[in-house]
């Protein structure tokens, strides 16, 4: 009975959600990859970011059903790249498909 109560208590605890931030970075010489896998469309931004996940490459989940602002995030990256502006990339949690830091916001730096 004690084991059942312990397991129940652990299941009710809030899950840990790691977050990370790149700080202001340049996209010059940074590879951005779009993967059009129908089950898990995504974009990788090849900078190292330790968000507490198995991987360290920030990922934008491009599925509109789970991330309705994905296209806007990608457009923000392209805008910053074209304008030679730095960005600040924030992540919260890990993606379910690849266990990479999931991008939740992108800021264009002044």
Q: Write the pLDDT tens digit of every residue in 33-75.
A: 999 999 999 999 999 998 899 999 999 999 988 899 999 999 9
Task: Please write the tens of the pLDDT for every residue from 5-41.
Answer: 444 443 433 345 578 999 999 999 999 999 999 999 9
Inside any domain, residue 11: no
Range of the domain at 22: 16-108
**CB neighbourhood size of 14 (10 A):** 5
For 87, phi then psi, to 5°, come to: -130, 160
User: Whole-model pTM?
Assistant: 0.79
Inside any domain, residue 33: yes
* Nearest CA-CA partner of 80 in 27, 15, 38: 27
Inside any domain, residue 40: yes
Q: How many domains does the chain have?
A: 1
């Amino acid at each position: 009975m004690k084991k059942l109560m312990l397991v129940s208590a652990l299941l009710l605890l809030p899950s840990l959600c790691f977050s990370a931030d790149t700080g202001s970075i340049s996209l010059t010489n940074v590879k951005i990859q779009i993967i059009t896998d129908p089950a898990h469309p995504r974009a990788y931004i090849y900078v190292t970011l330790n968000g507490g996940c198995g991987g360290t490459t920030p990922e934008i989940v491009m599925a509109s059903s789970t991330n309705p602002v994905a296209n806007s995030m990608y457009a923000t990256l392209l805008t910053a790249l074209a304008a030679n502006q730095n960005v600040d990339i924030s992540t919260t949690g890990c993606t379910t498909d690849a266990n990479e830091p999931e991008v939740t916001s992108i800021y264009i730096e002044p």
